[in-house]
Amino acid sequence: MRQYCSRLPTDIGVILIEASDDAILSVAFVDQKVEPQNAVTIQENDISRQGVQQLSEYFAGERTTFSLPLSPTGTAFQQRVWTQLCEVPYGETASYLDIAKALAKPTATRAVGAANGKNPIAIVIPCHRIIGANGKLTGYAGGLERKSYLLELESR
């Protein structure tokens, strides 16, 4: 499978959008992950450029939902968690417990947290909207400062 990459500079860091011919594979802050191994062959495609366009609109406050084809890689449980994350509306938050209950697994809050942390498509699959049951910000692969920024952006 051929992979394509686009970069998006934002106020909270550079985002790398990786895509296949058919879907977005990952959206991550560059400092979160290793760069693609063969930087010489990095190319954009229509899908990765659509990711840049829609994320740019999101950061400008012009987009509240995404309409990108997604193909995150993960276990069946992770996939279920990520699907549930997409049910949390723009500008709202849910707890790890809320997600576990929605999956009919109310004792699986730690597993939900682990799946949330493995989300390969940040922002688009809105793992930043998940907070502790006490209302406090907890864990975010991109850092709590970024999580706070994204929640503040969505509250405007």
Q: What is the dihedral of CA 13, 15, 16, 22, to 10 degrees?
A: 180
Give dist(CA 48, CA 27) in Å, integer: 10
Following CA atoms 80, 81, 86, 89 in sequence, which dihedral angle do they give, to the nearest 10 degrees?
130
Contact between 41 and 85 under an 8 Å Cβ cutoff? The reply is no
Spatial separation of the C-alpha atoms in residues 148 and 146, rounded to whole Å: 5
Which residue of the set 47, 127, 131, 141 is catalytic? 127
Per DSSP, the chain holds a count of helices (H) and strands (E) of 5, 5
* Active-site residue flag, 127: yes
Residues identified as active-site = 127
